[in-house]
Structures are given as structure tokens and as C-alpha cells.
């Protein structure tokens, strides 16, 4: 997953005096929940002290778009980057000439706050990546037992969640939503049935 940034020209004078002379509005999933869509990122350009853990804005050499990811290591070929919400490192090392700068302050809930750089911001990202690996291993381990349980129909014999079916006619055709406790747990649209776990143990395409 990647994100794309929009450059913003309005930077408070006090931040410009501190050397934060670039600003971007964040969007996309790759740095969530560290960053949230709509947040403003205040950047210090031309940093010579970049270290692992820093969050950098750079010009992606392939898409030619501005991206913000975290430095995981520094090689002779460039900076190895990764989004906090991504399972894998970026495939290409980013050269220094493509780096716009380091995120040092962000807008959060209407206030401008310091943003952790270096190792101070690295440990939470590493924790998240570790949890992602554990989640992937658990999914792999329990994949076959879960598929067997799903095909057996045993769960439907003992679990009867109160699911409400809502049918809506749209210009694109029929749209069916399955609601449990005010939350959409499944939907049928364009003859494609999608269902969240564990509701797929008791719900099937009923159209």
C-alpha cells in the first residue's frame, strides 16, 4: 500500500523560522494509524542527520508522486523505506536526491505537535510490524481448520446472531446489507457476496 501527498503552501511563520519550510497533507492507508488522512505534515528539508526510524517525504521514482514512509535501514544505495501499515519494505531504495525532508511536526486535532523522530518513533512501528507477522502466522495455521468449520455448518447450529437484512434498489442494481448490532457484517452487490469473519460461519449468500 502507498499513499499520496498534496503539497500545502500555508505554513505558520513560527514553523518556518524553525526550518520547517515544507508542508504536505496526508492521505492513504500506508502510514495509518501513525498518520491519519487530512493531517498536515511539517517537513524539515535537506536533512543531513537522517537515521532509522525517521519518517521522510520523498518523490517516488516510479509513480512520480510524493510519498511518506519510515526509514528502516540506510544502505550505500539509499534509504530502505516502509509504511507503518505495510507488511513489507518498499522494493526500491530511495536515493538522497529524491528525499524532500523529514516529518518533524504534525497537525493533530487542530493543534500542531512534535512528531517523534529516530528511535523514539521507531519502536511503535516495530511493534506493529511484529503484530502483523504474528497475525499472518496465525491466519496460516488456522486457515484449514477454519475452512473445515465453515463448510461443516456446525457453528450455525449453536450460534444465531440477530442479523437484519436490508435490501436497497440503486441505479447499479440490488444492494443487500446484513446488519448486526448496528454494524454491516456482510453485503451482496453486483452478485458478489462479501462477509466478515466470523459471520461467514453462519451467513451464506441468501439471495
* pLDDT per position as a tens digit, 63-121: 899 999 999 999 999 999 999 999 889 999 999 999 999 999 999 888 999 998 888 88
Q: Quote the pLDDT of residue 205.
A: 66
Tens digits of residue pLDDT in 152-184: 989 989 999 999 999 988 887 889 999 999 999
Q: What angle do CA 31, 10, 18 make, to 5 degrees?
A: 80
Both 11 and 67 in a single domain? yes
Both 69 and 167 in a single domain? no
The terminus-to-terminus CA distance of the chain in angstroms comes to 34
Alpha carbon distance 78, 186 (integer Å) = 44
Q: Quote the pLDDT of residue 176.
A: 92
Among 103, 123, 143, where does a domain finish? 123
Asked if the structure places residue 150 within a domain, the reply is no
Asked if the structure places residue 103 within a domain, the reply is yes
Asked if the structure places residue 139 within a domain, the reply is no
Asked if the structure places residue 207 within a domain, the reply is no
For 5, 29, 43, 48, 176, the CA distances from 85, given in Å and listed in that order, are 16, 7, 21, 26, 31
Among 81, 106, 123, where does a domain finish? 123
Alpha carbon distance 45, 95 (integer Å) = 14
Mean per-residue pLDDT over the chain, rounded: 90
* β-strand partners of 107: 112
Alpha carbon distance 78, 101 (integer Å) = 14
**Domain enclosing residue 58, as ranges:** 6-123
Asked if the structure places residue 145 within a domain, the reply is no
pTM above threshold 0.75:
no
Asked if the structure places residue 192 within a domain, the reply is yes
The number of folded domains in the chain is: 2
Going by their DSSP bridges, the two strands 111-114 and 99-108 should be labelled as: antiparallel
Asked if the structure places residue 138 within a domain, the reply is no
Where b means 16+ CB within 10 Å and e means fewer, 1-27 reads ebbbbeeeeeeeeebeeeebebbbebb
CATH number for the domain harbouring residue 119:
2.10.109.10
Instruction: Choose between 16 and 125: higher pLDDT.
Output: 16
Going by their DSSP bridges, the two strands 55-59 and 99-108 should be labelled as: antiparallel
Asked if the structure places residue 146 within a domain, the reply is no
Q: Quote the pLDDT of residue 206.
A: 54
Q: Quote the pLDDT of residue 68.
A: 96
Amino acid at each position: 500500500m502507498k499513499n499520496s501527498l498534496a503539497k500545502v503552501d500555508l505554513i505558520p511563520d513560527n514553523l518556518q523560522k524553525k526550518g520547517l519550510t515544507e508542508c504536505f497533507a496526508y492521505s492513504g492507508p500506508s502510514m495509518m494509524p501513525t498518520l491519519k488522512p487530512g493531517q498536515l505534515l511539517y517537513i524539515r528539508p535537506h536533512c543531513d542527520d537522517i537515521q532509522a526510524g525517521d519518517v521522510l517525504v520523498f518523490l517516488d521514482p516510479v509513480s512520480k508522486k510524493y510519498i511518506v514512509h519510515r526509514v528502516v535501514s540506510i544502505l550505500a544505495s539509499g534509504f530502505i523505506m516502509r509504511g507503518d501499515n505495510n507488511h513489507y519494505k518498499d522494493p526500491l531504495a530511495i536515493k538522497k536526491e529524491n528525499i524532500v525532508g523529514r516529518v518533524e511536526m504534525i497537525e493533530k486535532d487542530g493543534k500542531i505537535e512534535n512528531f517523534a523522530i529516530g528511535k523514539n518513533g521507531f519502536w511503535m512501528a516495530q511493534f506493529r510490524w511484529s503484530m502483523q507477522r504474528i497475525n499472518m502466522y496465525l491466519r496460516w495455521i488456522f486457515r484449514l481448520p477454519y475452512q473445515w468449520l465453515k463448510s461443516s455448518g456446525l457453528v450455525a447450529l449453536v450460534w444465531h446472531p440477530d442479523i437484519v437484512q436490508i435490501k436497497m434498489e440503486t441505479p447499479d442494481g440490488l444492494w443487500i446489507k446484513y446488519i448486526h448490532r448496528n454494524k454491516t457484517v456482510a453485503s451482496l452487490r453486483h452478485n458478489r457476496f462479501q462477509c466478515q469473519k466470523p459471520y461467514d460461519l453462519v451467513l451464506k449468500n441468501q439471495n
